[in-house]
Amino acid sequence: METMGSGCALLDYDVDGKLDVLLINGGRTPDSAPFEPRSHALYRNRGGGRLEEVTREAGLAATADYGMGVAVGDYDNDGDPDLYLTYFGPNRLYRNNGDGTFSDVTGRAGVAGAEWSTSAAFFDYDRDGAPDLYVVNYLDATFERNPPCEMKGIRAYCHPRHFAGVADRLYRNLGDGRFRDVSRSSGILNPEGKGLGVVAADFDQDGWVDLYVANDSVRNLLFKNNRDGTFADVTLLSGTGYNSQARAEAGMGVDAADYDGDRLLDIVVTNYDLETNALYRYQGNWLFGDERWRSGLARKDRFLLGFGAGFLDFDNDGDRDLLVVNGHVVDNIERIQPDLSHAQPDQLFENRGGRFLEHEPFYRGSSRQPRVGRGMALGDIDNDGDVDVLVSNCGAEPALLLNQVGARKNWIQLRLTGTDSSRDAVGTRLTLTTAAGRQTDQVTGGGSYLSAGDLRAHFGLGEASRVEEIRIRWPSGREEVLKEIPANRILQVTEGRASEFSIAPGPRPAAE
C-alpha cells in the first residue's frame, strides 16, 4: 500500500482567484515503525509566492486513516469546490462551507464505501445539472491478507495478480446532499477492478460525458454514455483496453486531450517499466490507434515507471505537450534489476507536429532531480499565464515546479461556470480561433493519478495578440461565441451570459 504513494490537488478553495495546494498523506500500517501520523495538508495561496498552511483551521486535520487520492468538484453547485478524499478503507466527502472551512458530510451523502479506493472524478453523467461521482477501486487486500513475495529471491512488494480486484462505484447525485449507488444499473460494474486512474470526457462529442479507466494488469475500460443513465463498454471495439500485442498493461495515470490538432480527444496512459506508456489517438467512431511508437513517446520511457500524467501547453505555442511523473514501486529494485532505479526523473515531452521530443531544458535545476513520483496536478498557481506543476512524491516532500518558459508567449484562460449544466462545466468543449489557426479543448473530470488539477481551460496563443473567436459548447447543448478577445487575460464566463464575461488582465509575456 505504501508504495502507491498519494495524490495532490490545485484548487481555489476560498474562491479568491488564486490556486491553493492540497497534499494527501498516508498513515500508519500495523508493521510500520512507530511515528506520529500526519494529517493531509492544505496551503492557502497568499500571492507573491507565499503559501500558508491552514489545514487545522479548514477542518481537514483528521489523521485516523490511510489517505490515497483526491477529487475536487462543486457537488452542491453553491460556487465553491468540495473535496472527495479516497482511502485504504472508507472514503470521505468534505463540503466547502464557503467561509474557509470544510465539513465532513460523508454519512449523509452515502459515499464512504468500504473498498481500497484510488482515483475519483466528479462529472454530470445524466445531465441533470448535479455532479455525480465515479470512484476507482483497486485490490481486495487487507493488512492481514498480505502474502510474502519475492523477485529473484529478494523480498519485494507483491504483484497485483496475487489479489482479486474490486469493482468501481458510480454514485448519482440526488441534488439534496445525498448520492445513490448506481454502479450496477448504470452498467459500469466491472468485477475485475484493479483501477488506478480515471478521466471523464465527452469523447464522441454528443454532449454526454464518457469515462476511461486505467487498470493495473487487467484491461483498461472505455465506457460510452448511452444518454439514458447507462453506459456501454466499448473497450474492445475501441482498441484502448490492451497494447498492440493484445496484452493488458499496468495502467496507472491517465489524461485526455487533442494532442494532434484534429479536434478529437486522445488518451495517454502511464505504465510499468519495459511496457512503455500508451498513447491512444482517437480516429472517430470509437476507434483508437496506439501511437506510442510513431509519436516517439515510447522511445524515451522504456526503462521508467510512470504514474501521474497530463497534457499541457507548457510553452504556450498552441499545441499540447505532455508531462509524466516517474518512480518505481519496488524500493530495492536496484538489487533486483541493476539497470533500473527507485527514484527516477520526471519527463516533459514537447509536441513537435504530433511527435513528442524530450524537452532537455526541463532537466536543469530542481526538475532534474530523480524522485519517487506519484501524483501530479497542473495549474497556473501564480496566474502569470503558464501552467505550473505540483508533484507528490513517495516518502519525500512534494515538488512545486513553476513554469519559466510559457510566459514568453501569449495565452488566454477561461473559468467556466455552468447554470443549466453543472457549475464545474465538465464536458464543455471549446474551439478557439486565432490568425495562426484553430485549437480545441475540453473541461475534463479526474485525470492524472490520485490527483486533481485546475479546471480553468488554458490556451497558448504563440505570437497571436488577440483571439478572433472562442466557441463554447456547454453540456446542456447551449452554444455561445465570444469574439475579438485580447490575449493574456483570464476570462470568467457564465453559461447563458457569455457575452457578459468579465476579464482579469494578466501579465504581458516576458521578452525572450
The pLDDT tens digits of the residues spanning 37-89 come to 678 999 999 999 999 999 999 999 876 578 999 999 999 999 999 999 999 98
Task: Please check whether residue 52 is in contact with residue 44, taking contact to mean a CB–CB distance below 8 angstroms.
Answer: yes
Residue identified by cell 473559468 is 415
Among 453, 507, 492, which residue's Cα sits nearest to residue 311? Answer: 453
> Can you list the residues of the chain whose pLDDT is less than 50?
511-512
pLDDT value at residue 347: 93
Distances (CA, A) of 332 to 274, 316, 346: 17, 39, 19
Q: What angle do CA 72, 455, 436 make, to 5 degrees?
A: 165
User: Please, what sign has the CA dihedral across residues 440, 443, 447, 448?
Assistant: positive
What CATH number has the domain spanning 2-458? 2.130.10.10
Closest CA to 281 of 244, 245, 314, 248: 244
Q: Could you tell me the three cell numbers for 297?
A: 513517446
CA-closest candidate to residue 69, choices 115, 110, 102, 17: 115
Q: What is the pLDDT of residue 363?
A: 58
pLDDT at 337: 85
Residue 299 carries which side chain, given as an amino acid letter? R
Write out the H or E segment, with its range, that includes residue 473.
strand 466-473
Task: Give pLDDT, residue 405.
Answer: 82
What do you get for the CA distance between the two ends of the chain, in Å?
Answer: 46
Measured CA to CA in angstroms, residue 328 lies from 156, 273, 346, 393, 451 at distances of 12, 8, 12, 11, 18
Which three cell numbers, joined as nine digits, stand for 245?
A: 500485442
DSSP secondary structure code for residue 38 in this structure: P
For residue 34, what pLDDT is reported? Answer: 59
- Residue pair 427/443 in contact by the 8 Å Cβ criterion: yes
Q: Return d(Cα 488, Cα 270) in angstroms, integer.
A: 32
Contact between 281 and 300 (Cβ < 8 Å): no
Q: What is the DSSP letter of 450?
A: T
- Beta-strand ranges (E) seen in 167-245 are 169-173, 179-181, 195-201, 210-215, 221-225, 231-233
382 secondary structure, DSSP code: T
**Which residues, listed in sequence order, are joined to residue 389 by a DSSP beta bridge?**
378, 401
Q: Name the phi and psi angles at 137, rounded to 5.
A: -115, 155
- Indicate the residue type of 191: P
Long-range contacts of 150-157 (CB under 8 A, 24+ apart): 151/330, 151/336, 152/336, 154/332, 154/335, 154/336, 155/332, 156/330, 156/332, 156/336, 157/3, 157/329, 157/330
| Domain assignments of the chain as residue spans, ordered by start | 2-458
Could you give the C-alpha distances from 390 to 267, 311, 378, 399, in angstroms and in order? 21, 14, 6, 6
